[in-house]
Structure 1
Amino acid sequence: MNLERNYPENLGKGQILDLAKFIVTENFKHHSNNVLPQNYEDDINSICDEEIKYAENSEIFVVKNDTDDITGAIRVLKWNYSDVLPIQKIFGINPLLAITNYDVNEIYHIGRFAIQKESKDVNLFKKLMVCAIAPVCAQKGNIAFAEIDSKLLRVLRLLGIKASVIGESIEYLGSETIPVAFTYDGLIEFYNKNKGLVSEETLASNSLVPELQESVVSENISYNYSLV
């Protein structure tokens, strides 16, 4: 039996192929009864190539088991306004035009979220989300875009994460996927409530996070949650 190490860590840039394999296989495991399409390796290669291009401006957080296999993953990217984001590539949505009533500071993209179906850590979702949204919660006016499975979107809302749907859903990697935007105001409550689940060292390892505003910094508190 392989045990989870139970804490997020930064993924090495040389392990992006492992990440891509995990993302694709877990998505189809969750949504297609583990039936992989014939062209699933094309999806793996496409994700791998894309994340290599993003590597300079992104951080990938993973949880692994005792044999070094990935059991959970998420990636946050600070947009440089020139790279083509997945929300542009998949949905044809221009981030600069998607939100017209928000005074934008920095733009981020959150993606590559997946958790092993057999995972036993009921807080793993929250830990990975805290790691990913930390840069967004560093300053008012920050915003993040993402493409989210419809079931996951319902879970996010139940947890208090406010997401704005900005386009029609499509079928992607085996599930109904919806383009959404997260603002600082829609994330900060969840972040402050759950950041005690992640060590200060892990949050500090995120190179995309500037020094947090005093209003964002509070004492770390441990919480116990039931599975949702």
Structure 2
Amino acid sequence: MNDIKYYNLDSDELFSMVKFVVEENYNHHQSDLPQFIGDEITAMHNEEISLSNSKIFVARDEDYLITGSIRVTRWNKLDVLPTEKIFDIDLQQKKFEDMKIWHIGRFAIKHGIDKTGFLVFKTLMALAINEVCTSESSVALAECDVKLLRTLKLLGIEVTALSDSINYLGSETIPVLIPFFGLKKFLDKNIHLLKDNLILPNRHVIYKKAV
């Protein structure tokens, strides 16, 4: 684990993160990569470029290869989030208007990583959730495959499904809302991961000003 370091991804490496996310999602759920994977990588890359107020964290091994990633976005109520686009969910509904909405996405861990993988998982989650837990009116949206959803529940993170599942990036995926107190409970339990174990030598953050 001492060889894993965590970085704020530089904006010129955005494509490499997207490629990692798409390929690892398929690697986890099916034996062969689909022929259309290039189109999915391009589409997801365009989605990420269009989002404002995003921060991406990656875990890298001793060879500087990505072994895990996560992206957190503070929604400006103008950009189209994946939750809206993929599941046709209207976030302008009255029930969302008093919430500070964040979106957590592009979460992936390298397939076949050794026993350090779960610690990488929890550390990336803590990094993203730490960004969200700045206000008790904050909530997080995410698209979770069924396996990830089970893991979140085992970690004590309660979620609310926003619609039925669809097949996305090779797996059954459900859009969820995660309330502040569920996020804060996880963060408080894992705050040591931020205080003691992180080295972030590359402080490049890809925030863009909201329109």
Shorter-chain TM-score tier: 0.7 to 0.9
Q: Provide the rounded CA distance (Å) in 1 between the counterparts of 2:101 and 2:157.
A: 18
TM-score w.r.t. length of structure 1: 0.82
Amino acid at match of 2:50: K
Which of 43, 47, 52 is matched with 1:50 structurally?
47
Query: Residues 79-98 of structure 1: matches in 2 within 5 Å?
Result: 79-97=75-93
Say which of 95, 107, 111 aligns to 1:117: 111
Q: How has the CA–CA distance of structure 1 residues 81 and 202 changed in structure 2, closer, same or farther, with 3 Å as cutoff? A: farther
Cα separation, 2, equivalents of 1:66 and 1:202: 13
TM-score if structure 2 supplies the norm length? 0.88
Distance in 2 (CA, whole Å) between partners of 1:57 and 1:23 is 20
Q: Over the residues paired in the alignment, what is the CA RMSD in angstroms?
A: 2.2
d(CA) in 2 for partners of 1:185 and 1:32?
A: 35
| Runs of 5+ unmatched residues, structure 1 | 209-228
CA distance in 2, matches of 1:51, 1:62: 15
Distance 1:16 1:207, change over 3 A: closer
Residues 31, 4 of structure 1: CA spacing in aligned structure 2 closer, same or farther, 3 A cutoff?
Answer: farther
Specify the alignment match of 1:77 in structure 2.
73
Report the Cα offset of residue 14 of structure 1: 0.4
Task: Please tell me whether residue 167 in structure 1 is matched to residue 163 in structure 2.
Answer: yes
Equivalent position to 1:108, from 82, 102, 107? 102
- Match of residue 15 from structure 1: 13
**1:150-182, CA deviations, whole angstroms, 9 ceiling, x for partnerless residues?**
110000000011111110000000000000001
SS in 2 for 1:74: strand
Any runs of at least 4 consecutive aligned residues in structure 1 with deviations exceeding 6 A, and if so which?
200-203, 205-208
Contact preservation (8 Å) 2:10, 2:206:
no
CA 1:88–1:82 in structure 2 vs 1: closer, same or farther (change >3 Å)?
same
2:35 partner SS: coil
Q: Which sections of structure 2, spanning at least 5 residues, go unmatched?
A: none
Count of matched residue positions in the alignment of Structure 1 and Structure 2:
201
Report the alpha carbon displacement of residue 48 of structure 1 after superposing the two structures with TM.
1.0
The residue type paired with residue 135 of structure 1 is E
Are 1:133 and 2:148 an aligned pair?
A: no
